[in-house]
Amino acid sequence: MKQGTLFLIAAVVVATALAALPAVASPFVQSMALTCLMFAGLAVSWSMFSGPTGYLSLASSAFFGLGAYCTAWGLAYLPWPVVVMAGGLAATLFAFLIGLVVLRLRGAYFAVITYGLGELVKHTITHVEKTYAGTVGRVMTDTPSSNVVYWTVLIIALLAVFTYVRFGRSRYGHALRGIGMDEERAATLGVNPMRVKLLGFCLSAWFAGALGAAIAVRWTYIDPNTVFNPFIVFQTVLISMVGGPLTIGGPLVGALVFSLLSEFLRLSLPYLYMILLGVLLIVSVLYLPNGLAGHDWRGTWQKFFKRKKADVQVTEQRHE
Amino acid sequence: MYPISRRMTLQAALAVAGVLALPGYAVAQEPTVKVAYTQSRSGPFAPGAQTTQEPNYLLWADQVNAAGGLNVQGKKRKIELIGVDDRSDMETIVRSYEKFMTTDKVDIVLPPWGTGANFAVAPVANKHGYPMVAPTALSQKLVDMKLPYYFVTLQQPKPMMNALVDMLAANGVKTVTVAYMDDLFGLENIGALEPALQAKGIKILDKKSYPLGVKDLSTMLKGMKTANPDAFVGITYPPDNFLITGQSKEIGFAPKIFYTAVGTAFPIYRERMGKASEGTMGMGSWNPKMSKAAKTYFDAHVALNKREPDRWASAHAWAALEIIQQTVEKVGLDRKAMRDHIAKTEFDTVLGKMKFNGTEEVGVPGMVGQWQNGEFEIVWPPARATAKAVVPKTWN
């Protein structure tokens, strides 16, 4: 209870500070924060489903792109909040339809097919646009101001965090974790795995879609190759993995560290940053398998501390 | 080699200090001109950006600084070039330019590579009042946005396709087959090509599109071989050019005119395709034989970057820099004054006279080039031609 209150207070303080950012920070800091928030939102929404179940979904790019296309189609006719909601709903609907089929697969098969579906959506949209609209890319004029985009992304990211926590504690969250540990056993114990997985998958899709819808207006022009960019999902998965998808702190810390670090390295070491980033990722996968947030830092510290002591007092070690 | 003694080092240091001290005094008083840009050094845009655009930025800064600096209304100021990798990522591009314009408050920004990136950056530049002269943006939709601070030096689809069709008609072409890429570039060019062909009474026997990243087009090309057209027109990008040229040769599809669009003018097309490049036509605007200015530019580019510039957009990138340079010399670094000057002035560039009508440059006409004996000759329009078109294309 006490911890919960503390978390709530911290969340309110951080949210207020972030919401007030456009008033005090430079546009660059603001757009940096926007990138962090976008990846935080994506990583949290990804972890919502893939964290507990262990199903490695690569569909985030498809969700993101669908949301972006909803904005491109609807921005001229619908009010901004409706457009963003619709972007999320389109992704949810898509997740529901494909979920019925792909959630029957597991492991590498699931990862590959979710990735393939992203490509399928990309080419479908290309074909539909070309055949019926006579265009492929779309230009968005009269876009909302950068502050509005920022606040929208902030709200979606906060909603994602809130949902992650609430969902994780709910009956369904427990059921999802149960499925991750042993799907057959969970089913024997009365959980309907398909229904629970579908719910988690659809829920996580909404955030990715809404984020795509919100962020797309910053680019003025979108085409399938920009918004169905597989790097969006690769980065999302990396962030979640590096941060650790099993706690809410994981994707958040991961997004913050990853965005700031890659920006810092890009600007200060332009020819080395990719190599450094790669090395860092390898190191974190090898030595932090549970992510930054999930790692047993105390254990590492003790191990390190003890090894030093061990040189002097060998007998002490036996008490452990 | 002599070992470098301490005395020699001292002498050298003193000499350098002495040399620097003389003009250094005068130079130190003038602040540098900060020129910022992003270019793709990694990701899918990198090959294009590193062939056509960034080498020109580096060459320009190098040349201007070697001549004492950028002439700002009579005062020479050194260029401080700030170039960063944008990872071919839209969000990174937008964020970087926001940083240049608001946090760093640089004096001049140069555009990123590619139509998509330009779409993303043009409104940002316009909002913050930074004039931007872009070489690698190709879309009527971008032109139609009518952003007052944004200019494009590259020919748009309509003049390019009109030039192509005029050339086809002049060579007695009656039938064509057309392949195009499934994107905005492909569709806008097709949109310009079809009415132009119709106006000249040239029949399209077959028209096919293909997606980005295609790996095999032999079925499409076999169909076109059966149709047996006078000419083949491909609205293509660099990787597909190799594919289409190579596979056409393999299956023996040998129309007398063979046209591929972007990237045909890249030296790498000639190197990769060898003999098969001979006689291929494509989008181009210039070559070193065109004028003395073009030859000077070509030689300087090869000397600094150790490779040839491409024969289309490279020169448009260079022309964009010339326009900036002439503008700054005339009106200084006041951005509103720069924009007004660019909008209404006729400039002398490596490609000849250039002048803007809104966003679009209207001085340089649409052109067609052709590889002939290792040079990309301009073969259309006659007023700009450096050689006569060789028809039919040689295939072996």
Quick: pLDDT tens for A216-264. 999 989 988 889 988 889 889 989 988 888 888 899 999 998 889 888 8
pLDDT bucket at B45, cuts 50 / 70 / 90:
confident
Interface contact A230, partner B, CB < 8 A: no
Q: What is the pLDDT of residue B21?
A: 47
- End-to-end distance of chain B based on CA atoms, in angstroms? 52
Q: Which of B84, B98, B142 sits opposite A266 (nearest CB)?
A: B84
- DSSP of A205-244: HHHHHHHHHHHGGGGSEE-HHHHT-HHHHHHHHHHHHHH-
Tens of pLDDT, residue by residue over B220-250, are 999 999 999 999 999 998 888 999 999 999 9
Asked if the model's pLDDT at residue A316 lies above 60, the reply is no
Q: Please tell me whether residue B132 adopts helix, strand or coil conformation.
A: strand
Cβ pair A136:B119 closer than 8 A: no
Q: Give the residue from A129, A140, A59, A44 showing the smallest Cα distance to A92.
A: A59
pLDDT bucket at A308, cuts 50 / 70 / 90:
low
A114-128, A163-177, B21-35, B226-240: the lowest-pLDDT one? B21-35
Cβ pair B187:A35 closer than 8 A: no
Q: In Å, what is the CA distance from A208 to each residue of A75, A90, A131?
A: 18, 10, 27
Cβ pair B95:A35 closer than 8 A: yes
Q: What is the pLDDT of residue A14?
A: 87
CB contact set of B169 (below 8 Å; sequence gap of 6+):
B200, B202
The stretch B116-123 carries a mean pLDDT of 93
Cβ pair A31:B94 closer than 8 A: yes
Interface contact A276, partner B, CB < 8 A: no
Residue ranges in A54-170 assigned as alpha helix (H): 60-74, 80-102, 107-128, 146-169
Asked if the model's pLDDT at residue B14 lies above 80, the reply is no
Contact residues, chain A, for B123 at CB < 8 Å: 143, 220
Asked if the model's pLDDT at residue B268 lies above 70, the reply is yes
Interface contact A220, partner B, CB < 8 A: yes
Q: In Å, what is the CA distance from B201 to each residue of B62, B225, B297, B309, B381?
A: 50, 21, 40, 36, 20
Evaluate whether B301 touches B308 at the Cβ level (below 8 Å). Answer: yes
Cβ pair A137:B183 closer than 8 A: yes
Contact residues, chain B, for A223 at CB < 8 Å: 116, 183-184
Evaluate whether B249 touches B279 at the Cβ level (below 8 Å). Answer: no
Q: Which of A28, A221, A270 sits opposite B99 (nearest CB)?
A: A28
Contact residues, chain B, for A35 at CB < 8 Å: 91, 95
Evaluate whether A293 touches A241 at the Cβ level (below 8 Å). Answer: no
Q: What is the pLDDT of residue A277?
A: 77
Q: Which of A29, A35, A135 sits opposite B91 (nearest CB)?
A: A35
Residue of A nearest to B189 (CA): A135
Cα dihedral: A126, A131, A133, A138 (round 10): 20
B43-58 as b/e: b if 16+ CB within 10 A: bbbbbbbbbbbbbbbb
Task: Please name the residues between 99 and 118 in chain A that touch chain B, using a CB distance below 8 Å.
Answer: none
CB contact set of B129 (below 8 Å; sequence gap of 6+):
B149, B335, B336, B339
The stretch A292-305 carries a mean pLDDT of 80
Q: Which amino acid is at B394?
A: T
Between CA A251 and CA A150 the distance in angstroms is 19
Interface test with A, best of B54, B81, B84, B99 (most A CBs within 10 A): B99
Q: What residues pair up with B36 in beta bridges, in sequence order?
A: B82, B109
Which pair of tokens denotes residue A129?
């646009």
Evaluate whether B98 touches A31 at the Cβ level (below 8 Å). Answer: yes
Q: What is the pLDDT of residue A320?
A: 40
Q: What residues pair up with B369 in beta bridges, in sequence order?
A: B282, B378
A256-265, B20-29, B80-89, B296-305: the lowest-pLDDT one? B20-29
Q: What is the pLDDT of residue A318?
A: 46
Asked if the model's pLDDT at residue A55 lies above 50, the reply is yes
Q: Which of A31, A143, A223 sits opposite B183 (nearest CB)?
A: A223
Between CA B144 and CA B127 the distance in angstroms is 17
Q: In Å, what is the CA distance from A223 to each residue of A33, A126, A134, B191?
A: 25, 8, 13, 18
Q: What residues pair up with B382 in beta bridges, in sequence order?
A: none
Q: Which of A32, A226, A270 sits opposite B116 (nearest CB)?
A: A226
Between CA B284 and CA A232 the distance in angstroms is 35
Tens of pLDDT, residue by residue over B350-385, are 999 999 999 999 999 999 999 999 999 999 999 999
Tens of pLDDT, residue by residue over B47-75, are 889 999 999 999 999 999 999 999 999 99
Predicted TM-score (pTM) of this structure: 0.85
Asked if the model's pLDDT at residue A76 lies above 60, the reply is yes
Residue of B nearest to A126 (CA): B182
Asked if the model's pLDDT at residue A10 lies above 60, the reply is yes
Q: Which of A28, A134, A221 sits opposite B102 (nearest CB)?
A: A28
Cβ pair B120:A220 closer than 8 A: yes
pLDDT bucket at B119, cuts 50 / 70 / 90:
very high
**CA neighbours closer than 13 Å in the CB half-sphere of residue B38:** 27
Q: What is the pLDDT of residue A311?
A: 55
Residue listed under structure tokens 């000639």: B270
Between CA B233 and CA B261 the distance in angstroms is 8
Angle at B200 between CA B194 and CA B204, to 5 degrees: 45
Closest-CA distance, A220 to chain B, in angstroms, reads: 5
Q: What is the pLDDT of residue A319?
A: 45
Residue of B nearest to A231 (CA): B89
Which carries the bigger pLDDT value, residue B183 or residue A82?
A82
Q: Which of B103, B119, B123 sits opposite A28 (nearest CB)?
A: B103
Q: In Å, what is the CA distance from A184 to each residue of A101, A105, A168, A187?
A: 18, 14, 20, 5
Tell me how crowded residue A288 is: count the other CB atoms within 10 A of its CB. Answer: 19
Asked if the model's pLDDT at residue B4 lies above 60, the reply is no
CB contact set of B170 (below 8 Å; sequence gap of 6+):
B380
Compute the mean pLDDT over every residue in chain B, rounded to the nearest whole number.
Answer: 91
Closest-CA distance, B39 to chain A, in angstroms, reads: 11
Q: Which of A31, A38, A139 sits opposite B98 (nearest CB)?
A: A31
Cβ pair A139:B90 closer than 8 A: no
Tens of pLDDT, residue by residue over B148-181, are 999 999 999 999 999 999 999 999 999 999 999 8
Interface contact A38, partner B, CB < 8 A: yes
Closest-CA distance, A298 to chain B, in angstroms, reads: 37
Asked if the model's pLDDT at residue A8 lies above 60, the reply is yes
Percentage, residues of chain B above pLDDT 70: 93
Q: What is the pLDDT of residue B24?
A: 45
Q: Counting one residue from A and one from B, how many pairs have CB atoms under 8 Å apart?
A: 88
Cβ pair A136:B141 closer than 8 A: no
Tens of pLDDT, residue by residue over A20-48, are 888 888 888 898 999 999 999 999 999 99
Helix axes A193-215, A171-181, angle to 10 degrees: 110
Closest-CA distance, A208 to chain B, in angstroms, reads: 16
Residue of B nearest to A226 (CA): B90
A84-93, A284-293, B135-144, B325-334: the lowest-pLDDT one? A284-293
Q: What is the pLDDT of residue A49?
A: 95
Interface contact A272, partner B, CB < 8 A: no
Residue of B nearest to A127 (CA): B182
Cβ pair A136:B182 closer than 8 A: yes
A301-310, B57-66, B171-180, B257-266: the lowest-pLDDT one? A301-310
The three-state DSSP-derived secondary structure of B264-300 is CCCHHHHHHHHHHHCCCEECCCCCCCCCHHHHHHHHH
Asked if the model's pLDDT at residue B129 lies above 80, the reply is yes
Q: What is the pLDDT of residue A274?
A: 75
Evaluate whether A265 touches B92 at the Cβ level (below 8 Å). Answer: no
Between CA B126 and CA A218 the distance in angstroms is 14
Closest-CA distance, A119 to chain B, in angstroms, reads: 12
Task: Please name the residues between 298 and 317 in chain A that touch chain B, using a CB distance below 8 Å.
Answer: none
Interface test with A, best of B82, B94, B109 (most A CBs within 10 A): B94
Contact residues, chain B, for A136 at CB < 8 Å: 182-184, 186-187
